[in-house]
Amino acid sequence: MTDIRPQTPAPFPSEGFQPPFPIFTESTDRLTHAVQGRFTMALSPASLLLAYLDWLVHLANSPGKVGELAQNAAAKALPLLRYALTAAQGRTDPDPFAPLAQDSRFASPEWQRFPFNVMSQAFLYTEQWWHYATTNVRGVGDHRQQVVEFAARQLLDVFSPANSPLTNPDVLKVTMEQNGRNLVRGWQNFCDDVMRQATGRGADPDPRYLPGKGVACTPGTVVYRNRLIELIQYAPTTAAVRAEPILIVPAWIMKYYILDLSPENSMVRWLVGQGHTVFVISWKNPSAEDRDMGMTDYSRLGVMAALEAINAIVPGRKVHAAGYCLGGTLLAITAAAMARDGDDRLASVTLLAAQTDFEDAGEIMLFIDESQVTYLEDIMWDQGYLDTKQMAGAFQLLRSNDLVWSRMVRQYFLGESDHGNELMAWNADATRMPYRMHSEYLRRLFLNNTLSKGRYAVDDRPVALTDIRAPICAVGTTKDHVAPWRSVYKIGILTDTDVTFILCSGGHNAGIVSEPGHPGRSYQIATRADADKYVDPDTWAAATPHRPGSWWEAWSDWLVGHSSGTAPPPPMGAPDRGYPPLAEAPGAYVLMP
């Protein structure tokens, strides 16, 4: 009988081949990517090229879309031509094209004069057409479509008339008024920047806002130190304090004193003044020797070690834990692991602009795909960490109008110097990210979104946010481009506990640093009990009334409502339990370059 079973094909000669030096081969590829990354702002050329080809091939195979583009160009060209003719005659007809809400490049009255008004309108016409051309092309993946649209916008911004001294009326006006002295100052600013780049020296820190002097100067004591953190306990200012202390877990991408800026807008100082005992983690700025520290180390040596110290200093009390940005994500992971293991030491959990579901993680996802993450891993493999400049590049691109081009115009053409404030000084005091930790963070959370799917493992066992029983307060900000508030809002469908959501005005940093008395601030707040039905974020925002003022006050009331009363202030440290005072705040780690 003939055997009709499928036969296994003979292997190709290359199958089963093992290169004689696999480690050398991989190291060569990684080193190549690491060297490239120094010239590409740590952006993967392959990721950009694949996105471009995906868009181009699908667009070339879409005659209907190409026809629409031609019609769109013609339909918008006629109003632009009509506007140009009337503007040349001195008439001021309404602008046919409006910039985006956050685009203030052409807001000056000088841009309403001919021919500058025509230049700005022609640029906006081109910008809108390219947005139409790079979006809604059938067959292009969402991520790659967003990358192409973003890249097109970045390239167009290079040719904006606002970026040239010859086509920017504000620059021309100042040059005439100052007889060119602004350009002399701008040249000096340019030479200073080139020298700093050539020598690898960053901008000189503003002496007004050095930690321990102008900022991070709330009285306190370092009561614990390990290879990753210093734990700062702040001195009480009231005769009695709330029984449960507060532990603040800041993000390690920046120094902790975003929450302890100047005395006027320090959250730490304000909380202490409200009768709270406050502890804050100050992260060490990692170096190449810390390359193998991972997310588990940040949880174990960070949050858990801080809790052990607090339990020794304030024994028998639960802790209100609050995490900001990455620190909030780490706190959520740690709280889920504690709940899984029966550890109920948390009285509440507060997440400040922190995400636990990364499906809609905002514009930063433009830089997150397999190619980009692998590229970053190779750069960090070579260095042992991700450098501050490499991280800053991505965030600058997200807001290039404000952080790149507008700065160039101000400093190089108008001859202005940046008049810094405490928030700008803090933002310049960036930190590095260890190789292993950042790789795990990008892959497990951003790329694979394992935490929201119940697949994130701590100590080789998965954790689930639904295990958390402590009440949760989540804070989002309306203009957050790092942690969009609708993404932060998702904690309500990922947990089985009471969730209070606060939506406040402002951005990722300025919205959180929103002290009482700050003009123009407002917020919305509502609580969803565990048994309540789900309300989508837009319906929630439409139905929840706005309240003027600072959300800090509402949060303090929420903390008090989940506390057990008052008690005498605890001692500073606990020398008899192994936690002696080590140094005055702000400690040593925050001063590490």
Active site residues: 325
Interatomic CA distance for residues 258 and 268, integer angstroms: 10
CA atoms within a 13 Å half-sphere pointing along the CA-CB vector of 345? 25
Interatomic CA distance for residues 319 and 593, integer angstroms: 31
Contact (Cβ atoms closer than 8 angstroms) between residue 439 and residue 380: yes
Per DSSP, the three-state class of 474 is strand
DSSP string over 441-459: IIIIIIIT-TTTTT--EET
Helical residues (DSSP H) of 301-448, grouped into ranges = 305-313, 326-340, 370-383, 388-398, 400, 406-408, 422-428, 435-440
Peptide bond into 115 cis (omega under 30): yes
Looking up tokens 């005439």 gives: 176
Looking up tokens 């789900």 gives: 534
Interatomic CA distance for residues 500 and 416, integer angstroms: 44
Residue 424: count other Cβ atoms within 10 Å of its Cβ.
Answer: 13
CA 514 to chain centre: 17
At residue 475, φ and ψ (nearest 5 deg) are -120, 125
CB under 8 Å to 234, separation ≥6 — which residues?
218, 219, 220, 268, 272, 277, 278, 279, 280, 585
Please give the biggest Cα pair distance in the chain: 101
> How do beta strands 461-462 and 472-477 pair?
unpaired
Q: What is each CA distance from 140 to 27, 144, 145, 146, in whole angstroms?
A: 34, 7, 6, 10
User: At residue 136, what is the residue type?
Assistant: N
Helical residues (DSSP H) of 267-325, grouped into ranges = 267-273, 295-297, 305-313
Per DSSP, the three-state class of 586 is coil
Interatomic CA distance for residues 525 and 495, integer angstroms: 18
